[in-house]
Amino acid sequence: MISGISHMTFIVKDLSRAAMFFKKIFNAKEIYCSGDDTFSISKEKFLLMNDIWICIMEGGTFHERTYNHIAFQIKDSDFEIYVERIKIIGAEIKPGRPRVDGEGRSIYFYDFDNHLFELHTGTLNERLARYSS
């Protein structure tokens, strides 16, 4: 039985730059760096965002952008704080999709390797309630 998410792995061109991305936007803490060792498929770093284990591994960059993304929940009162953090490091903010009232607000943005992230203020229950009304 699945008990939760173990970790998320992102393949990145520059480990240091990717680590900075997670640290500056998400307040992630770096807890491991493989250095020149490759215990997995390439050099890697582990970060923690609250209790979420993020693994970044050295590799290629996606050339094509898609809507595939990971969304993290934030408080609505923190929305502008995150917009500013994203702008400060120079990550590209993508225009959001049309929304209906009651489903929350979102910030969509790309990291430096074309991974799409979303910061969302709503919950699943709020969205289901809105869509069923």
**Active-site residue, from 30, 44, 84, 103:** 44
Burial of 23 (0-12, 13-18, 19+ CB in 10 A): middle
Residue from 32, 66, 67, 59 nearest 47 by CA: 32
Residue with tokens 């500056």: 24
- 31 CB-near residues (< 8 Å, 6+ apart): 46, 47, 48
**Annotated catalytic residue 44:** yes
> Do 80 and 88 contact (CB within 8 A), yes or no?
no
> Do 90 and 108 contact (CB within 8 A), yes or no?
no
Q: How many C-beta neighbours within 10 Å does residue 59 have?
A: 16
Q: Which residues are marked as active site?
A: 44
